[in-house]
């Protein structure tokens, strides 16, 4: 298994403004960038950070280290980012399946981007997703989403309908955060 290099980014000493969770295809990366821009903070996608730190693609890690090996690396990256990043963070769709990540989310503002199986699968079909490499990827997508829905709901601060357009999703999150954080909403 690959050792994850020590992070090089400076620590902020504060928790993220928001942590986005949800299944693949929910729009976490797209919405995360939009949300960070609206809040005037940095954005970190833990999938991209994981690839940067390991020097390998996610499919390569799945192939060489297996699902469990990937989840261990992912947990280390996620926990480090949550400890050291004060902006918006998006997690990989399966990150919440490990107890260490769920524990690390306990004191965070966690936003669950809830996507329908149809819309989510539409967004990821044709992409290289190791967990969907089956004879019926649409059925596998729906099955995995159903398995994880309760986990996502159990760790989130609030949920947002992610079937909507990314701008609308980001605006809905800003409105909810404004209630929690007393931040100004864009006019």
170 annotated as a binding-site residue? no
Residue 133 · residue 63 · CB < 8 Å: no
Question: Which CATH topology does 18-181 take?
Answer: Rossmann fold (3.40.50)
29 annotated as a binding-site residue? yes
Q: Which residues pair with 160 in a beta bridge?
A: 113
Domain ranges of the chain: 18-181
Residue 180 · residue 124 · CB < 8 Å: no
Tokens of 125: 């079909």
Cα–Cα distance between 156 and 152 in angstroms, integer? 6
28 annotated as a binding-site residue? yes
SS3 at position 5: coil
Q: What's the mean per-residue pLDDT of the chain? A: 86
Res. 13: pLDDT tops 80: no
Res. 57: pLDDT tops 80: yes
33 annotated as a binding-site residue? no
Res. 14: pLDDT tops 60: no
Q: Given this model, what pLDDT does residue 128 score?
A: 62
Query: Order of strands across the sheet with 110-114?
Result: 43-45, 88-90, 18-21, 110-114, 158-161
Q: Average pLDDT in the 164-179 region?
A: 94
Residue 134 — very low, low, confident or very high, per pLDDT cuts 50/70/90?
confident
Q: Given this model, what pLDDT does residue 179 score?
A: 85
71 annotated as a binding-site residue? yes
pLDDT tens digits along 90-133? 999 999 999 999 999 999 999 999 999 888 888 877 666 666 67
133 annotated as a binding-site residue? no
Q: Given this model, what pLDDT does residue 186 score?
A: 56
Q: Given this model, what pLDDT does residue 61 score?
A: 94
2 annotated as a binding-site residue? no
Res. 7: pLDDT tops 80: no
Cα–Cα distance between 173 and 10 in angstroms, integer? 27
Q: Given this model, what pLDDT does residue 121 score?
A: 84
27 annotated as a binding-site residue? yes
Of 146, 52, 18, the residue nearest 138 (C-alpha): 146
């Amino acid at each position: 298994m690959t050792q994850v290099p020590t992070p090089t980014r400076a620590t902020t000493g504060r928790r993220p403004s928001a942590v986005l969770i949800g299944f693949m295809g929910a729009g976490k990366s797209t919405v995360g960038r939009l949300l960070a821009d609206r809040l005037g903070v940095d954005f970190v996608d833990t999938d991209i950070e994981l690839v940067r730190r390991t020097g390998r693609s996610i499919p390569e890690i799945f192939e060489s280290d297996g699902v469990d090996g990937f989840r261990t690396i992912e947990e280390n990256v996620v926990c480090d980012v949550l400890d050291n990043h004060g902006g918006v963070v998006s997690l990989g769709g399966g990150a919440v399946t490990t107890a260490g990540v769920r524990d690390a989310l306990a004191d965070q503002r966690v936003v669950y981007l809830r996507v329908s199986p149809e819309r989510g699968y539409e967004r990821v079909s044709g992409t290289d997703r190791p967990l969907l490499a089956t004879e019926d990827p649409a059925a596998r997508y729906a099955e995995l989403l159903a398995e994880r829905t309760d986990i996502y709901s159990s760790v989130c601060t609030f949920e947002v309908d992610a079937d909507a357009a990314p701008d609308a999703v980001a605006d809905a999150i800003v409105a909810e955060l404004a209630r929690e954080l007393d931040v100004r909403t864009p006019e």
